[in-house]
Chain A
Amino acid sequence: MKHTLRQVFHSGKFVAGFCILVALLLLIAIYPLFVKGDPLAIIGQGTFFPPGTYVNTYDSIYAPNTYTLNLKDAAANRIAQRLPEKDREEMKTWLVAYGIPEEQIDVNDIKALLDIWFENYDPNESLGMIYAKQRYYQRLNDSIRNLLSIEGVILAEKNPETGELQEVGIVNQTDYVNINEVANVRVLPLGTDNFGRDVLTELVRATAVSLEIGLVAGVIATLIGLTLGLLAGYIGGWVDDFIMFITNLFTVIPSFVLLILISFSIGQEKRGAVTIAIVIGLTSWVWTTRAVRSQVMSLRNRDHVNLSKLSGHSIFYIITHDIFPYIASYVVMALILQISSAILAEASLSILGLGPRTTDVPTLGLMMNWAMIYQAHIMGRWWAYLPVIIMIALITFSMNLMNTGLDQVFNPTLRE
């Protein structure tokens, strides 16, 4: 046993896969210790906030210290963000279309450009442009008001008695706060999803749930497959015929179709993560049965089995003592493959809207499903779906690496 384990851990592929899996498990175990809170809590009012550090504006104003930094390029940065060159070119286009001679417009002299713009621009003038363009100019016109102002912004509070606004302070353009002194800062490394949930927190929890689903489904499928395969392979005869008949039935009605039918019939209200796992397990044992059966058949007539038979051991005893140990390594590999394919099956089901109930727990498939419903993949919201795909690929990749590694250990001919 010890020797086998040592051998297993000598396989580079197995170790690589094992390390990835352990890293993922550690992430699942450790992350919740640092980021507490319900992974399904809706924190964002709005959808798909991009990844980044979110600083509370209100708390920034009330930060204990305000620092004045006279940075040279601050004003330029500010203007560049509110009026990038592309927009200045567009302003020129409008002015030219309006009839201003091109040579009078210099897109690099912002002050002159703004002067000439505010002098001439009329939001009601369509100039034969399409609506999208007209509205673009209207928005642009609104956004560049006070662009060159050097005044600060006045803060006012509502007087609770009279309801009037009273000036309470001013925020100057040179005011800074130290982010460490702001009461509320939230880092969202992967932004938020369509519900306004923190994607990273959700992803970690979803990975755990998906692994659970994979494990439950994999164990069920392997147990069924193993039992049927052992019975069919060892006993043979009509038992074999019958089991192979059932297996064939499950082959000709493909498991994915069955999976869809069953999941739909169960109804979403009863589709917890475990239920889905069981359904996946119950529909995916077929190839394990076939594989175990053929292994057993090749063992059936080995000498030690015959010897055991002659000694009058029961079928159960022979199967558990003389057959099973010889295929145990094979069964472990089958289990690993079943787990990884169950994770994929859950994801595929969820994408079709037939996955586990949305509100209980996140799963990788559900995250993918909702990201796609809210069209993250075509609106460039990569953070909502790409990490999910990568996570699924990593899990199954690590398992298949381990499997290949094991294969090489247990099949000496495959060793390099």
Chain B
Amino acid sequence: MKRRITILSILLVLAVVLSACGGTATTEVPAETTAAPTEPTEKTEEPTEAPTETEEVPSGEVVLPRKETMYFNGQQWGSVVCWNPYSSSCNNAMTIAQQDNARVLMFETPYLYNMLDGQVYPLLADGDFAWDEGRTQITFKIKPAAHWSDGTPVTAEDVAYTWATHVKYDTATGASNKAYIADIVAEDAQTVVIKAVLGENGQALNPLLVQSYLSSNYVIQKAWTQKLEARVGEDSAALLTDPADDVVWSGPYTKFYTDDTKVILIRDENYWGQDASMWGKLPIPKYLGHMIYKDNAAGTTAFKAGEVDVSQQFIANVQDLWLKEGLPVSTYLPEAPYHIGASLPTAFFNLGSYGLDQLAVRKAIAIAVDYDTIIANAMTNQSATFDQVPRSLMNPTPGEQALYDHDAVKDLQFAGKDIEGAKKLLDDAGIVDTDGDGWREFEGQNLHYVATAPNGWSDWQAAIEVVAAAGKEIGIDITTNYPEWAVYQTIVTNWPLPEKDFDIFMMWSDGAGPTQPWSRIRHLMSSEFAETTNNWNGNWGGYKNADADALIQAIPSMTDEAALKEAYTELVRIYLTDIPSFTLMYRPQSFHTVNESVWTNFPHEGDGTVPPVPPLDLMDGWSVAGLYNVTLVNP
């Protein structure tokens, strides 16, 4: 009898469990036809606060037709939190990314930046923007055709109110721009005027940053913003934490379905951009999908299987996919480095560290490093080498490369792995090993440094290993150390850096954008960030050079191209002479690898598009144009 009870109870538990597991699958399901799907748990626990997974009723479609859906990876990590364009922490990578190359699938900017030619092209705006005579304000118009998802037109008033809201609630956008933008006002329904904060000379303090606002920040509907304000009672924290499920958008896509495993966007069939004044048609894929993978490996596996069309992940040895496995995969460039480099992952010297204030030591380390190995191993050759693109402050795009005089700084270049040169440099500076322990001393103290990168940032870690190896070759003891990112970032952004452990450390540099390369140079060299706390800008090593500061301050207002080129060349010269930091590799703005099993005609080098569509996954800045060009392999 008792045994039967035991068996029965086991069976019972099994049954309960199995049904519970089946339950997960079925309970959060939208009924096939009309019922609005909401998560059952939310119904009971958090009826108002929780971001509901889907408000819209999926229009009956439960299997997304492969030939109408384009899949991405590498953008969205973890679940979507909210749809609030005022918040910067929605973890909603597919729709909310206000940055130099703003993501414009759901919300739109007035202009689109194109990293390939460095130009901006109107989106919500009508025609080019114009500075006034004295460079105090910018005027531009809004396209008459542009309208919101609720049918009302996009007006200048929306642009002005968006800015006013950013300032009033002190959002990240407001906080970082109000030093340069005095006000944004609507002259009439179509005309927007951006008033710059003026400098001592009566001109805009920083015209570059004012301009860049136009291509990096969304226009948000005034009516919806007011509704939001009413809902949150004008409380700043509540405004930023509102999930904004009722948000009104102007872009070509909107949310369709999200849960812990995926995000699906659906095309807005009423998108204003099908007007002849913009694209003249709707984007080709009806759905955009993004599975949430837990790591790069899982995303790559799916990409190989053809479940992902456009990959924004770092795929180690990407060329194997077509060379060895014969998959229909391609990158923007046919050969290494496969991608267009845009940012310069950089090793900074902590100039407060003992001996690193000596140019000879910094330079010796920098010229001894084997960059070819870094590029071959850490980046698996997905970076241009320093032979191909000589070291400077510019990224490898042709636009930026043309901004300085290569020949003028030629004799300052170094290609790395110059062990003898580095030793000679140190010997000449009198930094030699006097006590015979194998390590050189400066003023009697051994040169011992710790090179760091955040733990888990694999390419940086692999690169910093090579830096350490170079130090050992030239008699400088460099060991490595990888703190967790959570710790790393707090230390790096707060001067003074600890005496040990952060002598040479990796940080990023700006990528491609409308304020580049100026902004990148400022972040690498400007003394305004040196020795500051809470510093998310740059110059973490504490470099100061008055000449560089003067040039950095002058460039935004410069209009003469020859003078500009001279200024940039001078900055590169200072950078290569003083070596406050050194770039280890080039990294693309986005990795852009495509699998042409279903879709084809993606952007690639020499694809004949005018203006050229940049390889930014068909969603950032001008690259969104690519969504109108793609075609099916087998229609």
B412 interface hit (Cβ, 8 Å): no
Give 8 pairs: A residue, B residue, CB < 8 Å, sorted on A. A45-B372, A45-B376, A48-B317, A132-B596, A194-B377, A269-B481, A374-B458, A380-B324
Q: Is the CB of B317 within 8 A of A264?
A: no
Residues of B within 8 A of A46 (CB): 376-377, 380-381
- In the complex, A359 Cα to B482 Cα: how many Å? 10
| Contact among A131, A195, A268, A379 with B604 in the assembled complex (CB-CB below 8 Å) | A131
B589 interface hit (Cβ, 8 Å): no
A300 interface hit (Cβ, 8 Å): no
| Contact among B316, B334, B376, B381 with A379 in the assembled complex (CB-CB below 8 Å) | B316
Size category, B interface: 35 or more
Q: Is the CB of A375 within 8 A of B316?
A: yes
List residues of B (367-387) whose CB comes within 8 Å of A's CBs: 372-373, 376-377, 380-381
Residues of A within 8 A of B452 (CB): 269
B469 interface hit (Cβ, 8 Å): yes
Q: Is the CB of B484 within 8 A of A130?
A: no
Residues of B within 8 A of A378 (CB): 297, 300-301, 304
A353 interface hit (Cβ, 8 Å): yes
Q: Is the CB of B300 within 8 A of A135?
A: no
Nearest residue (CB) in A for B301 is: A378
A267 interface hit (Cβ, 8 Å): yes
- In the complex, A359 Cα to B315 Cα: how many Å? 23
B136 interface hit (Cβ, 8 Å): no
Q: Contacts A42-B465, A42-B469, A48-B317 known; A132 to B330 CB distance under 8 Å?
A: yes
Residues of B within 8 A of A133 (CB): 328
Residues of B within 8 A of A93 (CB): none
Number of A-B contacts (CB under 8 A): 104
Residues of B within 8 A of A269 (CB): 452, 481-483, 501
Q: Is the CB of A195 within 8 A of B317?
A: no
- In the complex, A333 Cα to B297 Cα: how many Å? 38
Residues of B within 8 A of A372 (CB): 295, 297
B480 interface hit (Cβ, 8 Å): yes
Q: Contacts A194-B462, A268-B482, A359-B468 known; A131 to B600 CB distance under 8 Å?
A: yes
- Could you mark each residue 467-504 of chain B with 1 if its beta carbon is under 8 Å from any beta carbon of chain A, else 0? 01100000000011111100100000000000001000
In the A-B complex, list the 10 residue pairs whose CB atoms are closest, starting with the nearest: A130-B596, A132-B328, A269-B481, A374-B316, A130-B600, A268-B455, A268-B482, A132-B330, A353-B456, A131-B330
- In the complex, A380 Cα to B295 Cα: how many Å? 18
Minimum Cβ distance to chain A for residue B394 (Å) = 26
Q: Contacts A46-B376, A357-B482 known; A379 to B330 CB distance under 8 Å?
A: no
Residues of B within 8 A of A42 (CB): 373, 377, 465-466, 469
Nearest residue (CB) in A for B373 is: A45
Please name 5 further chain A to chain B contacts, defined as beta carbons within 8 Å, in addition to the given A135-B330, A269-B452, A379-B316, sorted by A numbering.
Answer: A46-B376, A47-B380, A136-B322, A353-B456, A358-B465
Minimum Cβ distance to chain A for residue B393 (Å) = 27
A373 interface hit (Cβ, 8 Å): yes
| Contact among B296, B322, B381, B479 with A132 in the assembled complex (CB-CB below 8 Å) | B322
List residues of A (11-63) whose CB comes within 8 Å of B's CBs: 42, 44-48
Q: Is the CB of A375 within 8 A of B297?
A: yes
Residues of B within 8 A of A357 (CB): 480-482
- In the complex, A266 Cα to B372 Cα: how many Å? 34
Q: Is the CB of A268 within 8 A of B481?
A: yes
- In the complex, A43 Cα to B295 Cα: how many Å? 28
Q: Is the CB of B377 within 8 A of A373?
A: no
Residues of B within 8 A of A132 (CB): 322, 327-330, 596
**Majority secondary structure of chain A interface residues (helix, strand, loop or mixed):** loop
Residues of B within 8 A of A267 (CB): 483-484, 487
A138 interface hit (Cβ, 8 Å): yes
Q: Is the CB of B300 within 8 A of A375?
A: yes
B349 interface hit (Cβ, 8 Å): no
Q: Is the CB of B483 within 8 A of A268?
A: yes
B602 interface hit (Cβ, 8 Å): yes
B320 interface hit (Cβ, 8 Å): yes
Nearest residue (CB) in A for B600 is: A130
A88 interface hit (Cβ, 8 Å): no
Residues of B within 8 A of A387 (CB): none
Residues of A within 8 A of B594 (CB): 131
List residues of A (240-282) whose CB comes within 8 Å of B's CBs: 264, 267-269
Residues of A within 8 A of B376 (CB): 45-47, 196
Minimum Cβ distance to chain A for residue B349 (Å) = 19
Nearest residue (CB) in B for A372 is: B297
B461 interface hit (Cβ, 8 Å): yes
Residues of A within 8 A of B237 (CB): none
Residues of A within 8 A of B461 (CB): 358
Minimum Cβ distance to chain A for residue B462 (Å) = 6
Minimum Cβ distance to chain A for residue B208 (Å) = 36
Minimum Cβ distance to chain A for residue B248 (Å) = 38
Minimum Cβ distance to chain B for residue A97 (Å) = 15
- In the complex, A121 Cα to B407 Cα: how many Å? 40
B633 interface hit (Cβ, 8 Å): yes
Minimum Cβ distance to chain B for residue A339 (Å) = 27
Q: Contacts A375-B315, A375-B316, A378-B301 known; A195 to B462 CB distance under 8 Å?
A: yes
Residues of A within 8 A of B596 (CB): 130-132
Q: Is the CB of A131 within 8 A of B602?
A: yes
Q: Is the CB of B300 within 8 A of A359?
A: no
Residues of B within 8 A of A377 (CB): 297
- In the complex, A243 Cα to B322 Cα: how many Å? 61
- In the complex, A130 Cα to B602 Cα: how many Å? 9
Minimum Cβ distance to chain B for residue A399 (Å) = 30
- Could you mark each residue 299-337 of chain A with 1 if its beta carbon is under 8 Å from any beta carbon of chain B, else 0? 000000000000000000000000000000000000000
| Contact among A47, A358, A374 with B482 in the assembled complex (CB-CB below 8 Å) | A358
Q: Is the CB of A47 within 8 A of B317?
A: yes
- In the complex, A44 Cα to B373 Cα: how many Å? 8
- Could you mark each residue 111-142 of chain A with 1 if its beta carbon is under 8 Å from any beta carbon of chain B, else 0? 00000000000000000001111011011000
- In the complex, A309 Cα to B482 Cα: how many Å? 56
Q: Is the CB of B316 within 8 A of A47?
A: yes
- In the complex, A132 Cα to B595 Cα: how many Å? 8
Residues of A within 8 A of B600 (CB): 130-131
Minimum Cβ distance to chain A for residue B472 (Å) = 11
- In the complex, A268 Cα to B484 Cα: how many Å? 7
Q: Is the CB of B317 within 8 A of A379?
A: yes
Residues of B within 8 A of A380 (CB): 324
Minimum Cβ distance to chain A for residue B332 (Å) = 10
- In the complex, A196 Cα to B301 Cα: how many Å? 23
List residues of B (315-350) whose CB comes within 8 Å of A's CBs: 315-317, 320, 322, 324, 327-330, 334
- In the complex, A374 Cα to B458 Cα: how many Å? 8
